[in-house]
């Protein structure tokens, strides 16, 4: 397994920081976080970590099977940006030959993924 990284967001005031660069006169926010000696050391550390990072993924082949003759099949899906957050839900109904009978999609405001799934089958 790969390394786990924890990132923290810090809100710092330059007036409260001890000087960390060898030339304090050029110590600005840009210099401190992007171009300074400490920034270079930190960015190099994360660049080395990123070089070792490998994405682990898996996949599964999914196949649609038609319903029995004279039946219809309803497939649903949902997406949620945040939980809760802006969501949408969709469904489509197909007959036993795979012909599309009806398909619809809906935007949902401030919904959870579970509510969006439930709205799709409602």
Q: What is the mean pLDDT of the chain?
A: 77
Q: Does position 67 have pLDDT exceeding 80, yes or no?
A: yes
**Tens digits of residue pLDDT in 73-109:** 999 888 888 778 888 888 899 999 999 999 998 888 8
pLDDT at site 24: 61
Q: Is residue 121 predicted with pLDDT exceeding 60? A: yes
Look at residue 94 in the predicted model and tell me its pLDDT. 94
Is 33 within 8 Å of 39 (Cβ atoms)? yes
CB proximity list for 66: less than 8 A, separation 6 or greater: 73, 94, 95, 96, 97, 98
Please give the C-alpha separations between residue 57 and each of 1, 2, 5, 107, in angstroms, as whole numbers: 12, 13, 19, 30
Residues 114 and 82 in one domain: yes
For residue 87, what are the domain limits?
72-121
The model's confidence at residue 18, banded by pLDDT at 50, 70 and 90, is low
Phi, psi of 20 (to 5 degrees): -115, -10
Query: Residue 44 falls within a domain, yes or no?
Result: yes
Q: Is residue 99 part of a domain?
A: yes
Considering the domain architecture, whether residues 76 and 47 belong to the same structural domain is answered as: no
């Amino acid at each position: 397994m790969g390394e786990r990284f924890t990132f923290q967001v810090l809100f710092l005031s330059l007036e409260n920081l001890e000087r960390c660069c060898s030339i304090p006169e050029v110590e600005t926010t840009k210099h401190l976080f992007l171009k300074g000696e400490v920034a270079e050391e930190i960015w190099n550390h994360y660049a080395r970590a990123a070089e070792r990072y490998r994405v682990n993924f898996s996949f599964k082949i999914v196949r649609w099977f038609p319903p029995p003759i004279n039946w219809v099949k309803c497939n649903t899906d949902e997406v949620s940006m945040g939980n809760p957050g802006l969501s949408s839900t969709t469904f489509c109904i197909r007959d036993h030959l795979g012909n599309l009978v009806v398909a619809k999609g809906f935007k949902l405001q401030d919904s959870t993924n579970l509510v969006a799934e439930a709205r799709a089958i409602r």
